[in-house]
Structure 1
Amino acid sequence: MWALKCYKCECCGSDFVSCKALKYHFRQKHFGKVHCEECGHEVLRERRHSHSESVPERSTMETQKLSWKNLEERNINHVATEISKTCRMCSRHFGTVLSRENHEIQEHGWIASKRAQMSIGFSPHNMLECKSPQELRKFADENIHPASGPLSTACVAEIGALFTLIQACFPVPASRMIQGGSYVKGTDTQGCSEIDIVLFSDVFANVNHCKKQLREGLDALRENLKQTSHGDRILMGKRTPLPLRFNFVCTEGLHRHSFEIMAYCDILGPAPSTDLKLHLYRKLYLCNDSDMAQLCALALLPYQVDFVKASVARVKELIRLMIHWLKTSFANSTEENKFRRLPSSYTVELLTIHVWELAGKPLLFSLVQGMRAVLKLLVRYAEIDVVWHRHYHPKFPIFVKVNQKHTRPFILDPANPTINVCDTCNAWDEVALVARHSLLKPLFSRVRAEPPWLFTNDW
């Protein structure tokens, strides 16, 4: 983990290694400018009046782009977006996280007491009330780990049959189908799992052609699935701009699987060359269309799945515990803070793997020690700075550019050097608060770091 730089610009949040560098930056970027509260940008002081007169029209356009419906659509994308800079109360977008936080305090009274009231919401019989590793193990077996034995075998058979059915019901021939989600990665929890499916077809000539035909194809798949023998157990979700979503009730109604299906042209193929992947990274970096970027990023799903799937079984157990913590420790969003976005499950998976790597990748370890380490790092979320180089070189120009301008917390997608997965969350301060209160729970009382977790003593 890289060390924090010492000098922070109060205007834009950039970090610098010396006071001299900060002063030079301020003179070059901010001197003679003032912050416009209407649009969130900086303007020259002498042009402030004329700028203010032109803001209403621009603000209306911004509001339309960042409406509740639009934010919902952005939140479901596979690619990360800059939700981190949107207000959790009114969805306004700002240039920096610092300006967004100042707005929330001044306009919405987002003070410490209000944040605590709207953030902390431990569910009854929370696993954090367990008093020993043995109690945690029993709790996890009864409430978190997916079913095993005959139920698991029946579930695998039903899901396999549904995979075949989906490919057969798709209105155009699919050359390849790839699966992702917690079910495939082995990080699913009891009662519900997520399954992502991408159907690749040679019928789609290119991105634009796919984008035009995709909605029609997924609508046809939707209707075809309803007519099958599984139709009575498929609960279709609302139509969305790109993916088809539904829940499948499995194994005599004991649990369900949340499906998300997409289709695209196979731009990489099953065994792409390095040059082909680098070309895709450049395309994603330069793409200004979020829908098109999401479609292009689908080709990277196998690498994202393999990265998590390759973890040892103990790490997947720890991931399940952390995802359960994420789902059961926060207060539900209300009408007042309905634009709050917590970290995604994928972000939690990557952060957990990173902490395990810091511990030296032990095959066996205490789950209590592992949870404590992840929670302690979440308390210090501003120091999270994580990069893997399995799919792109440190000197790859796009990685260098993204890395130079990143803000913390920063976890670069291991398969996509253009995406900071932490950008899908605008409530990291709430995450830190709940993590801090979680560490005071009985499960961690009087727990001290043991090898190989001694490095957490510095956190």
Structure 2
Amino acid sequence: MWALKCYKCECCGSDFVSCKALKYHFRQKHFGKAPCEKCGQEVLRENLQDHSKSVYDRSAMERHKLNWENLEERNIKHMATEISKTCRMCSRHFGTVFSRKNHEIQEHHFTANKRAQMSIGFSPQNMLECKSPQELQRFADENIRPAPGALRAACVAEVGALLQLLRACFPVPASRVIQGGSYVKGTDTQGRSEIDVVLLSDVFANVNHCKKQLREGLDALRENLKQTSRGNRILMGKRASLSLRFNFLCAEGLHSHSFEIMACCDVLGPAPSTDLRLHLYRQLYLCHDSEMAQLWALALLPYQVDFVKASVMRVKELIRLMVHWFRTSFANSTEENKFRRLPSSYTVELLTIHIWELAGKPLLFSLVQGMRAVLKLLVRYAEIDVVWHRHYHPKFPIFVKVNQKHTRPFILDPANPTVNVCDTCNAWDEVALVARHSLLKPLFSRVRAEPPWLFTNNWFRTLPERVGSLGQLETTAMGQGRTSAFSLHNCALF
């Protein structure tokens, strides 16, 4: 195929098929304008000072509204980490993803070529080199699925014994213990699993009291664990403000589990009423302290676990494949882009479940078809908009306010209507780029959608006209109605 020269706009990162098209775009979109540092919007330079003042006035008005007691009248942003708006190179935070991208291009020269070099990193003998569904299944059985039989039984016994040890070593009595993580959900992989443990104690009067006492309690737990007979198999991690993290060597040293231990008061109890859960949602919505919000949200861990565990076994196999894809297809972060954050494993789980639901929740399906569907959706990340209503009504005021303000990609936590789990990633353009390259690998060569995955056939026809962050050119040549060769080539790929 003929090589196609790319003309990139330095202001917004969009790509064009000709220099003439780029000049036309610049005159229409950027000429005489400058980005506002507060909101990221481009405005005329002569109006920039007045615009900045208006933004300041609006933000002051919003701060004033925070003092209102009536929940229905308070119109603030939902509580989320919002890592998506931070720079990958210097962690500077911006008001919009657009202004963040402009900063990365202008300050760090984060061009399309540089993004490709820093994001694509397929490991040797990657599963994408498999040439058939049968070969992929063998690869998954040998390298991804946890070992069954006696080894798994020994692992369960080891983890159970350690949980009892944690409860005994915690300096205050725990009334109840809740668990999460890939090990509990059934989505863990060979040699790597996460176990989240929350120790609930009646000693803590409230969440605020817990926050004040938590660090001292976790330090005591750390020292107590070191003195036990299993202390030589526990490798402690870096100190965290709200949790104790360590790796536990299990099953005669063949693999380890990654533990994260947290503690809090029992906010909901074992059988909470609907009103009590709604009260918790309001507390999360009104909370402006990220650490306090994290402690409040611990009570929702069982609902998050149950949501994933309710999926059929085949979906969990697909989740393992996608988690493995994330671990083996991306280049490692360097000192230059050390603030890059890829989607969390929980985000991957929810995204995979959403794809399965779009396919009609089949009990059995081809893993190749499922992976292909998830990757195609990742290419179209700007269109991801997923909401579940199993734990809150669509007319619930907090959900309505959050939904009105959401930006894409958007996957609302099914157990927490205040958190967009996609906000934990600031490299969605890299995810889309690696997904696009993955679809060219032998595993998906000449693969076409089969029932129940036929809905993916129409996705390329509705691609946005311009996705500059993916290095994709416009599908029309500046209003002249000419479709670019690059776009036609991409359509053939999918």
Same fold (TM over 0.5): yes
Measured in 2, the distance between the counterparts of 1:90 and 1:433 equals 22
Partner residue in 2 for 1:362? 362
**Paired AA for residue 285 in structure 1:** Y
Partner residue in 1 for 2:419? 419
Matches for 1:249-328 after TM superposition, within 5 Å? 249-328=249-328
SS at 2:259's partner residue? strand
Structure 1, unaligned stretches of length 5 or more?
Answer: 1-9, 12-32, 56-78
Measured in 1, the distance between the counterparts of 2:117 and 2:283 equals 43
Q: Is the CA contact (8 Å cut-off) linking 2:236 and 2:245 kept in structure 1?
A: yes
Measured in 2, the distance between the counterparts of 1:50 and 1:181 equals 46
Partner residue in 2 for 1:223? 223
* CA shift in 2, pair 1:246/1:404, >3 Å: same
Relative to the length of structure 1, the TM-score reads: 0.85
Aligned residues: CA RMSD: 2.1
SS at 2:193's partner residue? strand
Measured in 2, the distance between the counterparts of 1:166 and 1:377 equals 41
Q: Does 1:352 align with 2:356?
A: no
- Percent of aligned positions that are identical: 85
Q: Is the CA contact (8 Å cut-off) linking 1:128 and 1:438 kept in structure 2?
A: yes
Partner residue in 2 for 1:48? 49
Matches for 1:3-402 after TM superposition, within 5 Å? 35-37=35-37, 48=49, 80-402=80-402
Per the TM alignment, residue 36 of structure 1 is displaced from its structure 2 partner at its CA by 3.8
Measured in 2, the distance between the counterparts of 1:47 and 1:444 equals 50
Measured in 2, the distance between the counterparts of 1:264 and 1:356 equals 35
Q: Is the CA contact (8 Å cut-off) linking 1:41 and 1:95 kept in structure 2?
A: no
**Paired AA for residue 328 in structure 1:** T
Partner residue in 2 for 1:449? 449
Per the TM alignment, residue 192 of structure 1 is displaced from its structure 2 partner at its CA by 1.2
Measured in 2, the distance between the counterparts of 1:229 and 1:42 equals 62
**Paired AA for residue 354 in structure 2:** H
SS at 1:246's partner residue? strand
Per the TM alignment, residue 47 of structure 1 is displaced from its structure 2 partner at its CA by 8.0
Note the alpha carbon deviations across 1:65-103, whole angstroms, 9 max, x for none.
xxxxxxxxxxxxxx8410000111111111111111111
* CA shift in 2, pair 1:80/1:127, >3 Å: farther
**Paired AA for residue 243 in structure 1:** S
Note the alpha carbon deviations across 1:6-53, whole angstroms, 9 max, x for none.
xxxx99xxxxxxxxxxxxxxxxxxxxx96444896899967839989x
Partner residue in 1 for 2:489? none
Measured in 1, the distance between the counterparts of 2:122 and 2:329 equals 4
**Paired AA for residue 337 in structure 1:** N
Measured in 1, the distance between the counterparts of 2:46 and 2:383 equals 34
Measured in 2, the distance between the counterparts of 1:279 and 1:100 equals 35
Measured in 2, the distance between the counterparts of 1:35 and 1:118 equals 26
Q: Which has the larger radius of gyration?
A: 2
SS at 1:192's partner residue? coil
Q: Is the CA contact (8 Å cut-off) linking 1:40 and 1:93 kept in structure 2?
A: no
Measured in 2, the distance between the counterparts of 1:88 and 1:217 equals 34
Note the alpha carbon deviations across 1:158-216, whole angstroms, 9 max, x for none.
00111111111111010000010000000000001000000000000011110111011
Partner residue in 1 for 2:482? none
Q: Is the CA contact (8 Å cut-off) linking 2:123 and 2:329 kept in structure 1?
A: yes
Partner residue in 1 for 2:4? none
Partner residue in 2 for 1:408? 408
Relative to the length of structure 2, the TM-score reads: 0.79
SS at 1:161's partner residue? helix
Note the alpha carbon deviations across 1:219-251, whole angstroms, 9 max, x for none.
111111111111110111111111000000001
SS at 1:173's partner residue? coil
Per the TM alignment, residue 338 of structure 1 is displaced from its structure 2 partner at its CA by 0.8
Q: Is the CA contact (8 Å cut-off) linking 1:204 and 1:265 kept in structure 2?
A: yes
**Paired AA for residue 377 in structure 2:** L
Per the TM alignment, residue 429 of structure 1 is displaced from its structure 2 partner at its CA by 0.3
What is the count of residue pairs matched by the alignment? 404
Measured in 2, the distance between the counterparts of 1:440 and 1:218 equals 48
Q: Is the CA contact (8 Å cut-off) linking 2:41 and 2:99 kept in structure 1?
A: no
Q: Is the CA contact (8 Å cut-off) linking 1:41 and 1:94 kept in structure 2?
A: no
Q: Is the CA contact (8 Å cut-off) linking 1:34 and 1:45 kept in structure 2?
A: no
